[in-house]
Amino acid sequence: MGRGDEVRNILSAGNMMTNNTILVVDDEIGIRELLSEILRDEGYRVALAENAEQARVWRSQTRPELVLLDIWMPDTDGITLLKDWASSGMLTMPVIMMSGHGTIDTAVEATRIGAFGYLEKPIPLQKLLSTVGKALRGNQSKQSFVLSLASLGRGALFADLKKRLEQVVNLKAPLLFTGEPGVGVELCARFMHRPNTPWVEPETLAALAEAPFDLLEQARDGLLFLKDVGEINRLGQKGLLLLLSKLEKYNVRLVCATALPLAELTAQGAYNPKLYEALSGLSISIPALRAHREDIPELANQILSRFVESGEASSVLQFSTAALNCLRNYDWPGNFTQLTGVVHSLALTCTGDEISAEAVQQAMVFPESTSVSVEPDIPLNLSLREARDIFEKTYFERMIEQESGNMTRVAERAGLERTHLYRKIKLLGIKLRGH
């Protein structure tokens, strides 16, 4: 079986799993099988990945309830994968690190990045089950303190956003949210949801190609929320078009979200023009966190208060003024999701009553200045799209060169999720070393 087949098998299994799945990532087959057997005997659903690549693919398709992640793996180590998820806003589940020869420093680093805990191999049965149980209970507690729409910001940007949401809340037309990963699209979608009616949010979008009417039946008289509609394949796009034609029959409000530029994908032939026209008729853009960074100190305090209320942090814990300034000055490529993860890590690891600026700096890998001197010679007789493509190609080529091909760093500096970065590079025709 080839590597591509193995990944496809992982995805095929993931498509059938619900969000109470535990993802086990370990390059040793014996450990994967042992952990799988133990966890399944306890009633958990289990997905398996033998390396970081498979784990990334699985996580891009759905969100596990918990991840058991080996630190030492041949392609990409677990710490790097944890950093990738944290920086891209995808660390929305508890992660327990595992290692047969780890150190205290490694465990501290993992916790600082956002890991829930650390297990040393060989893992005692009771220790495994106890840690998994605590992580899952903690995650449920964290989920109960989800930020409300009103708490995402108090400035002019969010006042305007709320006004636009109120204008369309009672409409029947499909609604498309655009914005970077982690900006709070689900909160905005829930603002559209009428109380005491169905809310349907599929774990994956595979059903669009296989059984779109099943989704409509589940959401009858309620709301159907589809994330990442820019990433669905051709069959999924056809299924979504078919679904759109039957919304009125099932009395379903469709709300979609995308972090990808559908207009560009359509112009490049990667997206169905009819589908783009149908989805873009009513569209609202959600601002990135860095666009209203004046809200960040208050948001950080709100998030910390929720961890205090849940018992995960000391009742006297607070940020120093310098720490809040440090948080405000960061660009947050993972937006609210990343901010929540960082505050959680700080709340768990702080040993005093005050979170200092030094602690914030240690909890995050702050990228260097995102300013890059790019001065390509762009003819003024080109269209805006053509000129932008030239600029972006030069921008990414120079940034990749500066970071010696380290795509994690490039993604951080550009404020993009790695998946979106690779798609952008492919569309621009940039050749990477080793590819």
Amino acid at position 303, single letter: I
The verdict on domain 367-435 having CATH code 1.10.10.60 is yes
* Residue whose entry in the numeric block shows the structure tokens 């993972």: 334
C-alpha Rg value of the chain to the nearest Å: 22
Q: Domain coordinates of the chain in residue numbers? A: 3-143, 149-285, 298-363, 367-435
Phi/psi of residue 318, nearest 5 degrees: -150, 165
Q: Which helix (H) or strand (E) holds 78?
A: helix 78-87
Of 193, 255, 262, give the one whose Cα is nearest residue 227: 255
d(CA 147, CA 299): 9
Q: Helix (H, G, I), strand (E, B), or coil: what is residue 22?
A: strand
Q: What is the CATH number of domain 149-285?
A: 3.40.50.300
d(CA 87, CA 338): 7
The strands making up 223-226's β-sheet, listed across from edge to edge, are 199-200, 223-226, 253-258, 175-178, 283-285
Residue 424's pLDDT is 79
Residue 338's pLDDT is 85
pLDDT digits (tens, 9 = 90+) for 208-234: 988 899 999 999 999 999 988 998 889
Instruction: With a cut of 70, list the residues of the chain below it in pLDDT.
Output: 1-20, 87-89, 101-105, 108, 112, 138-153, 309-310, 365-385, 412, 415-418, 433-435
d(CA 231, CA 212): 16
The answer to whether the Cα torsion of 282, 288, 291, 292 is positive or negative is positive
Please determine whether the domains at 3-143 and 149-285 fall in the same fold group of CATH. yes
Q: What is the CATH number of domain 3-143?
A: 3.40.50.2300
Q: Helix (H, G, I), strand (E, B), or coil: what is residue 67?
A: strand
Residue 368's pLDDT is 41
| DSSP 8-state class, residue 115 | -
Tokens of 380: 């003024």
Where are the alpha helices (H) located in 268-405, listed in sequence order?
273-279, 296-309, 321-329, 335-349, 357-363, 384-402
HEC-encoded secondary structure of 151-209: HHCCCHHHHHHHHHHHHHCCCCCCEEEECCCCCCHHHHHHHCCCCCCCEECCCCCCHHH
Are 229 and 175 spatial neighbours (Cβ–Cβ below 8 Å)?
A: no
pTM as predicted: 0.52
CATH topology of domain 298-363: Helicase, Ruva Protein; domain 3 (1.10.8)
Residue 376's pLDDT is 54
